[in-house]
Structure 1
Amino acid sequence: MILDLAAYLAFFLTVALSYAVITLGLNVQWGQTGLFNVGVAGFVAVGAYASALLTTPDAPDRFGGFGLPIIVGWAGAMLAAGLVSLAVGALTMRLRSDYLAIATFGVAVVVQLCALNLQTVTGGPFGIGFIPRPFTSFAGDPLLFSLANLALLALVVLALYLFLERLLSSPWGRVLRAIREDEAAATALGKPALRFRLQAFALGGAIMGLAGAAQAHFIGFIAPDNYLPTLTFQVWAMLIVGGSGNNRGAILGAVVVWALWALSGSVIGSVFPAGWQARAAALQIALIGVGLCAILLWRPRGILGERRIVSRHLVTAPKANPSLVNNTPPEIPHA
């Protein structure tokens, strides 16, 4: 009983961390740059299918089956999703807010339809199976297998978090936030806003592709139904709940929202009879929406909101002059 519970907990955390990688990619686009990407599922699908085609064994009925190592598949997934993001961004990056959202949603729909209809490449509605899974030598021990996969995903999330923290605190990251807050001012200071926005969009898409590859190899099977708009809704909820603009918040939000999603699915499965479960599953989105509203009423900026820094040179200023803590001038003594 305890071993089964530990194996399930490891499985749960592995899936949550795979969503955390997607959320970190969205945080680069939206949280740091203000790019309203509603096509998350499409970029995740590109990464998943690219890695699957590169690593699966020979398949005479479809393209691919190169049998390459998993690490090569993950690198190929990042490259493919990054190039697709770059191409999409080059066409749509001049759009703003809701127009960009509509364009990226259309891209996600096109990717899903291609996965559904290009049967000689993607397997069509039957998907792609026999995707190699890491640590297959541990497959006989479910607990050890789950822990090994959890350790791998945790290492990926940690490395990605440290990389993004370093990158977003660099001058490049500060330019992204400047463009997000006031693009006209950033452009007036000589920063090519369009180029920086395109770079952020491509980087976020590549990270989403990595997450798609990780999920594909963890599950061992992918199909077009895995990349419906529901996935995009989940990831956006994770980022908003955790705290947009904060990488730690993105990771925490992924774990919290996935826990709510799994718990609501268990409740629905236990309350409704078998004949009603498929229809009642739609209540999951409503329950997540209610939870999202409750968290935002409690923490409007998310559980871990973005830390606002006016200048990195003012971090130590309060120690020298406490009156600068709230950006208020010091009191002038009366004569």
Structure 2
Amino acid sequence: MSVELIGYGAFFLTMALTYAIICLGLNVQWGQTGLFNVGIAGFVAIGAYVSAILTTPDTANRFGGFDLPIAVGWLGAALAAGIIAFLIGWLTIRLRADYLAIATFGVAVAVQLCALNLERLTGGPFGIGFIPRPFASLAGDPLAFSLLNLGVLVVVVLVLYLALERLVRSPWGRVLRAIREDETAALALGKSAVRFRLQAFAIGGGIMGLAGAAQAHFIGFIAPENYLPMLTFQVWAMLIVGGSGNNRGAILGAVLVWGIWAASAAAVSAIFPPDQQARAAALQIVMIGVALCAILLLRPRGILGEVRVVSRHLGRLSPLKRATSIPQNDEPQHVQKP
């Protein structure tokens, strides 16, 4: 196996894992809470631009250039995207699912227009370049550079996965699923649906912002055209294919759908002449659509659907004990006196 092939595999997995982080954020919003967010590209863009502004060197024609460490940029991106998601959720979280989708889509379009027109802040249509990359000193060794970047993403995804799994199994996660399944019943139990939804929306938005920052630093360049509605479609396809409500499914779906996207792009480049490749690139969307339809027909809940968790207190009783602990008829139980 050649060094180039290993390097490409590492780059492929690195990009797939950045999408996996976005899917984990969407899974908090939709898979656990039922919030229909169609503004994914906007939150990813917020994280990417905030981190780029914080970490790039000083430039004469653009605001920013604080030249801070990459870790600070990632943290700032997650906080900025989470705070903006909280503010947007505070205004829109009471809307019905279809109206919430329209509102979040409008937010994504507004973010892209801001990135396109606020040239002093975002670089306008030319974007922001020279974004510092992790382990830049090893750029002369492409294999080591790619593998170390992949290692960073593996650690980030693993930490997020473990943290979200713990949240899902906590009382907070059970309340989210209760609100998703029956909001009226959750309200009857004294749970504030608005407050819990707002928390989930902000956490999911912050995770998407972190993914945008990671993607920006591994590529080294961002522009408004990177955050079109197609990004939102890709992430939704990833979550549906992998399995909504399951964090492992979100990660698996991201890897599979990104694999379809990359393989179809390679096929287009190999089959079509250069002057037709731009139009033939639409086949990538067709391939993802075919995969999505196949999954919905064969496994409507996704490859790894949501795992229904039973309370550990109920699980302590064997089926026989649960059956015999309830009287089987209405006959009075006579107790023999001593």
Q: What is the Cα deviation at residue 60 of structure 1?
A: 1.3
Residue segments in structure 2 that go unaligned for 5+ positions in a row: 329-338
Structure 2 equivalent of residue 262 of structure 1:
262
TM-score, length-normalised on structure 2?
0.94
Structure 2 residue matching 1:58: 3-state secondary structure: coil
Quote the Cα distance in structure 2 between the aligned partners of 1:49 and 1:23: 20
Q: What is the Cα deviation at residue 231 of structure 1?
A: 0.4
Structure 1 equivalent of residue 172 of structure 2:
172
Structure 2 equivalent of residue 284 of structure 1:
284
Q: What is the Cα deviation at residue 323 of structure 1?
A: 9.7
- Which aligned pairs between 1:28-39 and structure 2 lie closer than 5 A? 28-39=28-39
Report the identity percentage. Answer: 74
Q: How many residues align?
A: 328
Residue segments in structure 1 that go unaligned for 5+ positions in a row: none
- Which aligned pairs between 1:80-229 and structure 2 lie closer than 5 A? 80-229=80-229
Letter of the 1:321 counterpart: P
Structure 2 equivalent of residue 78 of structure 1:
78
Quote the Cα distance in structure 2 between the aligned partners of 1:247 and 1:184: 26
Structure 1 residue matching 2:125: 3-state secondary structure: helix
Q: What is the Cα deviation at residue 296 of structure 1?
A: 2.3
Q: What is the Cα deviation at residue 273 of structure 1?
A: 1.3
Structure 1 equivalent of residue 333 of structure 2:
none
Letter of the 2:319 counterpart: N
Q: What is the Cα deviation at residue 294 of structure 1?
A: 1.1
Quote the Cα distance in structure 2 between the aligned partners of 1:4 and 1:316: 53
Instruction: After superposing the two structures, state which structure 1 stretch, 288-297 or 197-206, moved more.
Output: 288-297
Structure 2 equivalent of residue 69 of structure 1:
69
C-alpha distance after superposition, 1:117-175 (max 9, x if no partner):
00000000000001000001211111100000000000000000001011111111110
Letter of the 1:30 counterpart: W
Structure 2 residue matching 1:106: 3-state secondary structure: helix
Letter of the 1:121 counterpart: L
C-alpha distance after superposition, 1:5-55 (max 9, x if no partner):
100000000000000000000000000000000000000000000000000
Letter of the 1:256 counterpart: L
> Over alpha carbons, which structure has the higher Rg?
2
Quote the Cα distance in structure 1 between the aligned partners of 2:28 and 2:312: 20
Q: What is the Cα deviation at residue 313 of structure 1?
A: 2.6
Corresponding position: 1:321 with 2:325: no
Corresponding position: 1:235 with 2:238: no
Quote the Cα distance in structure 1 between the aligned partners of 2:91 and 2:268: 42
Structure 2 equivalent of residue 307 of structure 1:
307
Question: Alpha carbon RMSD of aligned pairs, Å?
Answer: 1.8
Q: What is the Cα deviation at residue 316 of structure 1?
A: 4.5
